[in-house]
Chain A
Amino acid sequence: MPVDPKSLLDPALMARLDALEVLTHRVFRGSQKGERRSRKKGVSIDFADYRDYVRGDDTRFIDWNIFARLERLFIKLFLEEEDLAFYVIVDTSASMDFGAPMTKFEYARRVAAALSYIALRNQEKVGVTAFDVRGREVFRPARGKGQLPKVLASLSRLEVADRTSLGAAVRDFVTRCTQSGIVVLITDFLDEEGYEEALKYFFMRNYEVYCIHLLSPEERNPTMGGHLELIDSETGEPQEITVSEALIKQYRQTVESFCSGIRDWCTARGITYLPATTDQGLDLMLLGYLRSKGLLR
């Protein structure tokens, strides 16, 4: 449900986030001048290489000292600095509307707001995408601190809706956001179709991907009991169970196996996997956990 945009970011938290910046482990090609080193040669102050002078080159970049020694004209090349694309993809499927003390969706929205704040503050280009059965661009990539209210407003308007289709969402995203950069995917991965096929689409654009796997404490350690008819929030399909100690034990093993399966799959493919639960404080999540994983510095 829509919320007050201001509620997404606590001023005290914002103050602590001011000291952070987004850290990249790769060099991406940007679309505009920025503060990130680019693979392109440009006009920054960092020397990159020499090349022979050809007619039409800017004579200001001729290295006259070389000419004096070798009597040949060479042009000095400098590294280009471009902006960084930072995408946040938030799962808005119905399964995210669970959890305590706040729902997974609420938690994901706040993490997205905080990461957007850090990126915008560092002049990165930030884009926000929400997905359920398909990806929806809720905030087109833009840069500058002035974009923060718009980002927050976009996030506050998000609502949990339909079933999850991670594959369709990622496919939409990669076809729309062609500029490579950092992608932070916040989801519970509770998709009947699985995650493997979906995450493979990220490799098309050479994104640096971070997956925040968000579960509620109840999902990790269920406390329910008795003869239950579980209703799937997304499909509405019932599942009859009789909760027993053995079943709970088996469920925990299944959750553990599910998480470790995603982790192993991601790690093997260069994707950073970040498990989280909604009872983790945002401070701890952003200032501690994401820093330790190398997303923030």
Chain B
Amino acid sequence: MSAFLAPLALAGLSLLPVIVVLYMLKLKRRPQRVPSTLLWRRSIQDMVANAPFQRLRNNLLMWLQLLALLLLVLGLARPVGNFSGGKGETLILLLDLSASMQTVESNGQTRLDKGKELALKAVENMSGGNGLLSAFSARDEMMIIGFAEKTFPLQTLTTDKGALRTAILSAKAQDTETNIEDAGYILQERTMVNKGDTVEPNPDARVILISDGGLGPTAAALADVPQIDFVQVGETRDNIGLTRVDLRESFTGQYEQQVFVGLVNASAEEKTAYVELEAGGNVLDLKRATLPADGTGSVLFTVGEGISGPATVRLSSHRDALAMDDSLPVVIQPRSELKIQLVTRGNPFLERALAVDPRTNIEVASPDGWTLRDGYDIVIFDSYSPESLGPGNFIFVNALPPVGTGFDPSGEPIKNPRVVDWSRIHPITRFCSFENLAIARTIPFTAPKDAVLLVESVETPLIAVQETDSRRLLVVGFDILKSYWPLDVSFPIFWGNVLESWSRQGRGLGRAAWATGSTVPIVPPRDAKIAEVSTPAGQKISFALESQGTLYLTETAREGFYSVDFGVGQAQALAIGLMSELESQIAPATSLEIGGRTIKAERGAVEGRQELWPWLILAGLLIFCFEWLIYCRRTYM
């Protein structure tokens, strides 16, 4: 049966005797004897008859009409009751565990706590087969799925309310962004049924999504789920978050690095934030940023030579609803020399472009008698290709890598190839324009499937890159000296991008910070003895080093500094932070747009879904019939 959500309100029933007593009280009137009250009564009747309103009189017909109308109107409003005794639904409860669910609302309760509360209510209101209508009803079953960047099956399908409650209470908020894609696949499987050759929605399956609504583009994964009830949690939107951090070389000072920090203001008014960069217990710098309402901003710190290692970017003296995006761990990488071997018979343009970066130490070698030696970060082959390659970073200019790498020639050299497309987003070709690139001749080749074509002509790729666990290959298919490229502004930018990108990746831990939940590639040094990662929670993750290739760290759900120990030298730090504008934008959604549908937020979904309108309409009509019967009896008696 339905429960009273506010049983204290029943105390209002004590007012009923008060009303009765009020009706018993009378105005004290002066008695006066008159010949007859006949004309006075008529006067009063006439006044009442002529007045637009009259004193409300107790009338059974009126009460019946009011009651019937009330029932009919309530029926039209389609109320849903939380009666036990349903039709045996399959309920799939999706509980948002993403970082934004750690938002603390004005009542001190986090959004996840509220979500758990609602989830428990949903469990409580499942048809348990023990209600008044249990003889006519089937039992509901429920499964619980938590989702953040990953999906957590908290409880498989069951009718056991105790197990469901335990699963809900065990759910913990993650430090990661929302990604409901995996959960979407599970939902499609559970909410659709095969009927012959066709797949149709399961009418008995219903999804209850408890979230603050920040699902982002992954919400599209729910497009094929037929019945979704969106139960929204959250009210506040007062938050400033650090959403991005990046470390790059300073273009003004040779020995400086810059820390770029992105911010977002989720609140509806303009805010001023102070951002500090702290390392080793000392505040290195403090910057001020004015953020427009519901807008973004950034600050830039300059870090001098000699500062490296773990640091923290945080909002200074700031408190808001979501605390976890108020600080961000970063690792300032030490400046290191880039050792480059250029195997060429002479290419002054390339030498000069590489020398722009002050970190580079270029060693020019002749192709004659060249042998592969360790100790170079990048080896560049200009118009020369060795017979074989080991692991490392290699660039081929006007030459193709050896056979077996997947880069194979595909015909005679092509004259005057015209650039038709290039990648604008790849780290190596970003900020470069190849629109007017004039090339005299290029080697046509086919790239392996895992290679990325950076610049293409109609006939052949011009520049392509392949990255495998142990080796990177960049192929420039044409002779630089027989093109106008060295005279184009894109030339030094291209080589700068190559050095910047490969130098950080080459060290494996090059980024200032990684987003929580992301997969972090780690390239162990050649002399690594072990590979062990310590998480902020104290967990140790060991990797096997047989292949000597790139290792991938996936256990990155928690924010903080991770320690990577290779058994040689000092353990290196790895910074993992939220860095999600989606999560920092904590303004709760009132509806979800999924697959062209608008799903409005409602709390009723967790309180059972038995519609009461047929009973109310029936009761209303019966009362109308009863009222009509009484009316007729009064009229004809």
Question: Which residues in A have some Cβ–Cβ distance to B below 8 Å?
Answer: 94-98, 104, 188, 190-192, 216, 219, 224, 226-235, 237-241, 246-247, 250-251, 253-255, 258
Contact = CB atoms under 8 A, between A and B. Distances in A.
Contacts of A94: 35
Nearest to B42: A254
Contact of A234 (B31, B36, B40, B44): B36
A226 B29 CA distance: 8
B43 A250 contact: yes
B39 A258 contact: yes
Contact of A240 (B29, B46, B47): B29
A193 B32 CA distance: 23
Nearest to B50: A250
Contact of B37 (A227, A230, A250): A230
A245 to B, nearest CB: 12
A32 B358 CA distance: 159
Contacts of A96: 35
A88 B9 CA distance: 73
B27 A98 contact: no
B34 interface: yes
B29 A192 contact: no
B30 interface: yes
Nearest to A240: B29
A234 to B, nearest CB: 6
B57 to A, nearest CB: 14
Contacts of B34: 98, 230-233
B49 to A, nearest CB: 10
Contacts of B31: 228-231, 238
Chain B contact-residue range equals 20 to 34
B197 to A, nearest CB: 81
B38 A192 contact: yes
Nearest to B45: A254
Contacts of A219: 35, 39
Interface in B514-542: none
5 closest A-B pairs (Cβ-Cβ)? A95-B35, A190-B36, A229-B29, A239-B37, A251-B43
B7 to A, nearest CB: 42
Nearest to A246: B47
A279 to B, nearest CB: 15
Given A228-B29, A229-B30, A98 B35 contact: yes
B32 A227 contact: no
Contact of B30 (A216, A226, A237, A251): A226
A233 B33 CA distance: 6
Contact of A247 (B30, B38, B44): B44
B33 A231 contact: yes
Contacts of B36: 95, 188, 190, 232-234
Contacts of B39: 190, 219, 251, 254-255, 258
A250 B41 CA distance: 11
A188 B34 CA distance: 13
Contacts of B38: 190-192, 232
B35 A188 contact: yes
Contacts of A230: 31-34, 37, 40
Nearest to A163: B36
